[in-house]
Amino acid sequence: MDLIAIARELESMAQTGLHYAGDEYDRDRYKRLRQIAAEILAERSNLRFDKIIDWNESEFGYATPKVDVRAFILRDGKVLLVREDADAGRWTLPGGWADVNDSPSEATIREVREESGYEVEVKRLLAVYDRERQKHIPPYPCHIYKIFFECEISGGAPRPNRESSECGFFEVDQLPELSKSRVLKRQIEHFHGLCTGKEAFPAEFD
């Protein structure tokens, strides 16, 4: 187990401990454990210590993975990508964090609308991935599951927004520079194979 995985596990123990602990001395120990985890993550990632602490302190309850949803959309054999201004203008499948009270498909529909302007219907599940096991970079201070759905455009039109300045359709063998934090080239190639019948189903996991 690498240091980042250890730090995430320490943080989850601290978060769960702070949720259940009643004794003030125990709470102090869990707070210190949270600081140690943040120090390790700050050293091993591109995130600042104070940002990690703020992020972790906003969490509560029993620690569980966060959920990121993404939409794979084909039109005339080309895949829809959006430009992520927050990641140096690199490109990704439309998507983002699932909101509380959204189902996974509802979160995907909302994210596509917000990031591209298109309305979509969710057709089927393509994959549920553990972000770290898929080797996405850079590492994150929290544990993340990534859920990918095949979607179909049902309306709307492309429009710029505060998160992505443009969107476009690309040949799978002519992809622009991707945001490797969000999606990987081999994932897009695999989903294209699934959705065009070149690869066998069912959905992948882990």
Dmax of the chain from CA atoms? 62
Same domain, 110 and 144: yes
How confident is the model over 175-203, as pLDDT tens digits? 999 999 999 999 999 999 999 987 777 88
Number of domains in the chain: 2
In sequence order, which ranges of 61-184 are alpha helices (DSSP H)? 104-116
Per-residue pLDDT of the chain (206 residues; tens, 9 = 90+): 688 888 888 888 888 888 888 888 889 898 899 899 888 888 887 778 888 887 777 776 777 899 999 999 999 999 999 999 888 999 999 999 999 889 999 999 999 999 999 999 999 999 999 999 999 998 887 889 999 999 999 999 998 777 777 999 999 999 999 999 999 999 999 999 999 987 777 889 99
Same domain, 157 and 200: yes
Same domain, 108 and 162: yes
Domain limits for position 23: 3-57
Task: Please report the pLDDT score of residue 49 as a whole number.
Answer: 86
Sign of CA dihedral 192, 198, 203, 204: negative
The pTM (predicted TM-score) of the whole model is 0.79
CB 84 within 8 Å of CB 73: no
Task: Please report the pLDDT score of residue 204 as a whole number.
Answer: 92
- Locate 141 and state its tokens: 């201070």
∠ CA 187-191-195, nearest 5°, is 175
Same domain, 120 and 28: no
Task: Please report the pLDDT score of residue 77 as a whole number.
Answer: 94
CB 144 within 8 Å of CB 95: no
Same domain, 34 and 76: no
Give the residue from 94, 104, 113 showing the smallest Cα distance to 169. Answer: 94
Same domain, 51 and 126: no
CB 93 within 8 Å of CB 80: yes
17: left (phi over 0), alpha (psi -120 to 50) or beta: alpha
Same domain, 33 and 104: no
